[in-house]
Structure 1
């Protein structure tokens, strides 16, 4: 028995739970990657990239909250603990130490691309199970793709 229940059938609930939990881990790790890049960045484009990283971090944090609250609303317990993120994330680790602006941008582009691929899979997987969750994932993916484009344009 769940403390919070949902009208979703159990099979659909499982699909949605997997999609939302995966999205939560990706988004929280993306926010941590963005913040690490924000703190350790140096180079001639420091200021503009520093500010742009704030946008990624803020977006990822807001999206992770929306994803976690969607899960909770469906009776799915979100797990955003640090140990869970460390165990379940597939994002590449951000380099330690000071990171040149072009290298930081390349790392963020790579992380965003990986998250986008998985978010698109989640969009497909939730289409029949829960169109409301799918809609949330679509809007998040659209914003991540915008950030991906903007960061790619930094290193052309």
Structure 2
């Protein structure tokens, strides 16, 4: 009987030791971090943008290899840009003038004129965007900064403070009509340079003439 008990105790101790060893191995494996193998020849790709500078020291992000995709001949691009740049800044000036009047308007025909000024402002923004994108299409940047608008729109200053409906009608009609005349001159010029640009200016010309007509009727 004693021999049997001793044998059973020895078996239990042996089994316990085996389980303890297995548990220790699992703990060791969990605490071990495997480092990924690195290749001595692996390199990190350089994705840093480093465009060359132009003659004025400005960074040039253009890709000359894509120039053949520009849909207009090289000699036509600058004339298109010049005419549209001038038109865009004029439209941006008219936009600001319309909003200034829209906000500060006073007088008997406030409501109808208030709404018409907003409609006009939306059209200036619409056509300004169309013509600005045309400049980008021919491979040049557009400049719509406020400092450029103030320096090149050539429409004169616009009064601040409250504005009467009669005052706004006179001021805005004169300014719109001035831009409309300039646009017609550019249409004639562009008809000899680029038909697409000329057509875009014709659409703008119609919209400006319509605005002048509406304001003229309000004054009659």
User: How far did 1:40 drift?
Assistant: 1.0
Match of 2:126 among 59, 62, 80: 62
User: How far did 1:92 drift?
Assistant: 2.7
Higher helix content, 1 or 2: 1
What's the counterpart of residue 110 of structure 2?
Answer: 46
Stretches (4+) displaced over 2 A? 1-11
Q: Where does the alignment leave 5 or more consecutive residues of structure 2 unmatched? A: 1-59
Query: Which one scores higher on RCO, CA 8 angstroms, separation ≥ 6?
Result: 1
CA deviations over 1:35-75 (Å, ceiling 9, x no partner): 01101110011011000001110000001000111111111
Task: For 1:10-25, list aligned pairs within 5 A.
Answer: 10-25=74-89
Report how many residues are paired: 156
CA deviations over 1:102-124 (Å, ceiling 9, x no partner): 11011110110111011011101
CA distance in 2, matches of 1:133, 1:117: 17
Q: Where does the alignment leave 5 or more consecutive residues of structure 1 unmatched? A: none
Verify the 8 A CA contact 1:2 1:75 in the aligned structure 2: no
User: How far did 1:2 drift?
Assistant: 8.1
What's the counterpart of residue 76 of structure 1?
Answer: 140
1:155 maps to 2:213: no
